[in-house]
Chains A and B, each alone.
Chain A
Amino acid sequence: MAGFFEPGFFSSAPVHVALTVGGIVAVVSAVVGTFTVIRGQSFAGHALSDIGTAGGSGAFLVGVPTLYGFVAMNLTAAGVMELIGIRRPRGRDLATGIVLGAALGVAALFLYWDTTVSSTTGATINVLFGSIFTISTSTVPVVAVLGAATVAVIAALYRPLLLTSVSYDLAAARGVPVRLVSVGYLLALAVAVSLSSISIGAILSTALLIGPAATALRLTTRTGLAIGLAAAIGVAATWAGILLAYDSAAWSAGQQGWPVSFCIVAAVFACYLLASLRTRQSRHQRAR
């Protein structure tokens, strides 16, 4: 048990920032992610986070925090996706693919410039795989405000969102402003994806959005409880990942630890596997 918390973990400022930002991001991702899973829109979430890399790498290029780049790019992309959504589903798929491809191309250009101009490969790792230990203290309040606003939007849309998830027509017939609800949800998704992009990177952000929510949905039949459980799992996995990454640096001789994003995603995946095992077992017992 001696090496569980390596020395300096609790006194390190970057660790404090990482734990705070990671915790907020995990809660926001869980709240939004539960609805993403319920609505079967995991792909939209993933597409948004990929498109966001163009914003993140662009922000890096002009020297502002990547968070702003992610948020600006993702909100724009969400708006475009909603506009395209008027047309046929097939058209939407195609358009998403084309916009996604174009955005990734721009991201490739920006990342190339990032690395050639600053002659470091840090930008690529930072944007794609996150770098939670290098987030500046001044970003914390921004993360908190964005996170609170996102959770507030989902709370306000809670019942109509559930109703539209059951049946779009049913909700429309009840007088639910279905368009407004889906725009509100998509904007919340854009911000949630941006937040998890700075935490574990644009490429991996889907893991934090979907993983804890999917795990929670296996464990409870109640929506509210599922959201709470997803938040708890997300925070626990994030903090465990941060601790593991910190400790691993101390364990290895050459100070080459494991990247924090890998540790967080591994913890999320482990939770999902455990939950699957548990539900399979209880189903098996019930069958007897």
Chain B
Amino acid sequence: MNPRANAEILAVDNVSVTLSGRQILREVSFRIGAGELTGLIGSNGAGKTTLLRVILGLVTPTAGEVRLAGRPRTRRNQLVGYVPQKITLEPDMPLRARDLVGLGLDGHRFGVARPSAARNAAIADMLDAVDATRFADARVGNLSGGEQQRVMIAHALISRPRLLLLDEPLANLDIRSGHEVVHLLARISTEQRIAVLISAHDMNPLLPVMDRIVYLAAGRAVTGTTAEVVRTETLSDLYGHHVEVIHTQGRVLVVSGDDSGAVRTGSAVQTSGGDAQVRRG
């Protein structure tokens, strides 16, 4: 038995989703335990965001089931914290980082928040936990991408969820901020025993911290440890045509061969900037 095996927080069982006649996900299954950090990897259009929306309860699966801490998913679920892909806040928006974290605590409630010392302390602690105290009083719209990410993570964590979902948190970050956010998430996951699911089109920044990987391609998923999943045979099976997994300079590249009619290839390598993704067409 794996010593890291943990209480199951999220179970996705044979989930299929068809949206306006198009099948987005086919029989996707995986589980995540407390304190585990899982990467949800796939190229654009592979179904990552749809899968996250199913877990959030924003999309109802055509078949299959999502269970949270052993129970079927209900609509208002406080077990799940969510960091959406991109928030676009005008620099003019009069909302401090501190206020946005406060909304994570009680933003779903009607009325105006009553000021309370306990509420302020909880917000200050949370800001501290994500190293955001420095810019706590700045307008959120004026913060850099990495700083906004931290504030959104604090916003998601303050309601003490057991599962944290992040949709492409590294997409708009420079390498250094991305590195910091990844290590912050790994620390939070271990220290607070939270199950973390991070979607990304490039697995490389997550390789040092990922416990497990869910690899999505064309709506289907394979799951396991990185070593089990990121192999030429496994991924070729998943894609339904030959792909090559190449380890180079500490990075992993997945490149498509030209034996599939669906892939128009000039050269064999269709990836850009070392993205671990297969570009089609």
Contact = CB atoms under 8 A, between A and B. Distances in A.
Q: Interface residues of B: mostly helix, strand, loop or mixed? A: loop
Contact of B108 (A163, A225, A226): A163
Interface in B87-104: 87, 89-90, 92-96, 99-100, 103
B88 to A, nearest CB: 9
B77 interface: yes
Nearest to A220: B94
B107 interface: yes
B94 A217 contact: yes
Contacts, number: 92
A225 B112 CA distance: 13
Nearest to B100: A166
A175 interface: yes
A155 B107 contact: no
Given A162-B107, A173-B80, A174-B108, A167 B87 contact: yes
Contacts of A34: 94
B167 to A, nearest CB: 9
B112 A172 contact: no
Interface in A205-259: 214, 216-218, 220-226
A169 interface: yes
Contacts of A175: 75-77, 108
Given A37-B92, A166-B95, A160 B87 contact: no
A244 B138 CA distance: 39
Contact of B107 (A160, A220, A221, A226): A160
A218 B107 contact: no
B208 interface: no
A157 interface: yes
B137 interface: yes
Interface string A9-40: 00000000000000000000000001001101
A166 B156 CA distance: 13
A183 interface: no
Interface in B73-89: 75-77, 80, 82, 84, 87, 89
A170 interface: yes
User: Could you say which of B75, B96, B107 has the most chain A C-beta atoms within 10 Å of its C-beta?
Assistant: B107
A9 to B, nearest CB: 35
Nearest to A172: B58
B87 A171 contact: no
Contacts of B87: 166-167, 170
A160 B110 CA distance: 6
B94 A38 contact: yes
A159 B108 contact: yes
B109 interface: yes
A182 to B, nearest CB: 14
22 contacts: A157-B110, A159-B106, A159-B107, A159-B112, A159-B113, A160-B109, A162-B95, A165-B93, A166-B103, A166-B140, A169-B82, A170-B84, A171-B108, A173-B56, A173-B57, A174-B76, A176-B108, A216-B94, A217-B92, A221-B95, A221-B137, A224-B112
Given A38-B93, A171-B108, 10 more contacts: A34-B94, A163-B108, A167-B84, A169-B82, A175-B76, A175-B108, A214-B92, A220-B94, A222-B94, A223-B95
